[in-house]
Amino acid sequence: MAEHHAILTVGSTRFDSLVTSFLSPTALAILSSLGIKTALAQIGASELPTGWTEGVNAIPHGVRVEIIRFASDLEDRVGQAELVVSHAGAGSILSFIRPTIPSSAPQRRLVLVPNSTLMDSHQADLADEFGSKGWGTVCENPEALSATLSSLGKPSSASAASYPAYSAKKVSLILDSTLGYS
């Protein structure tokens, strides 16, 4: 991949504060310093900050930003990104784990930001588990996103995280059990 690419995904929910933090001049300048040239912001039901529109926006801080609400090919796009900033929803995390990119590509990185506006702490629990295993960097709240991005450093080919193997059968068994089909 010639261009380094980042994605923000908030799933289908509303997570205004994360969208605002990702699209802030500070965060975009940090992304640029990390070598990111293009960014996709999948914003779901979130409100856009003033000055932003859906579609391709001007190139602030050298980062070309495309904003979409939803995309049927989001998982494919996530699979080609070197950096994914995501709410800590299970579906978005699975989208990050499933795809594979060439081993010659820079290390893929995941930043998880739990959405505390949801009714329970499942996103915080998932983020903490991923963080404890070294599978992602946990950003406790959207306001800390710029500081978290700053701590990442430029991507490298060395010491790529060893993510758990994706198994559609395991996911299916868990869902069947949870829904009472087994």
Q: Identify the H or E element spanning 36.
A: strand 36-42
Q: What is the pLDDT of residue 104?
A: 47
Q: CB–CB of 137/111 below 8 Å?
A: yes
Distance between CA atoms of 122 and 113, rounded to whole angstroms?
12
The number of distinct structural domains making up the chain is 1
CB neighbour burial string for 109-125, b if at least 16 within 10 angstroms, e if fewer: bbbbbbbeeeeeeebbe
Q: What is the pLDDT of residue 62?
A: 85
122-154: per-residue pLDDT in tens? 788 878 887 888 888 999 999 999 999 999 976
Q: What is the pLDDT of residue 167?
A: 61
Amino acid in position 110: L
Contacts of 163 (CB under 8 A, 6+ apart): 96, 97, 135
157-171: per-residue pLDDT in tens? 444 555 555 566 665
Q: How many CB atoms within 10 Å of residue 61?
A: 15
Q: pLDDT above 90 covers what percent of the chain?
A: 42
> For each successive 10 residues of the chain (182 residues), what is the average pLDDT?
80 93 96 93 95 88 92 84 85 66 62 81 78 86 96 62 59 60 64
CATH number of the domain enclosing 86:
3.40.50.2000
Residue pointed to by tokens 């949801």: 118
Range of the structural domain that residue 79 is part of: 4-179
What are the helix (H) ranges across the chain? 16-22, 25-33, 74-79, 90-97, 122-132, 145-152, 168-179
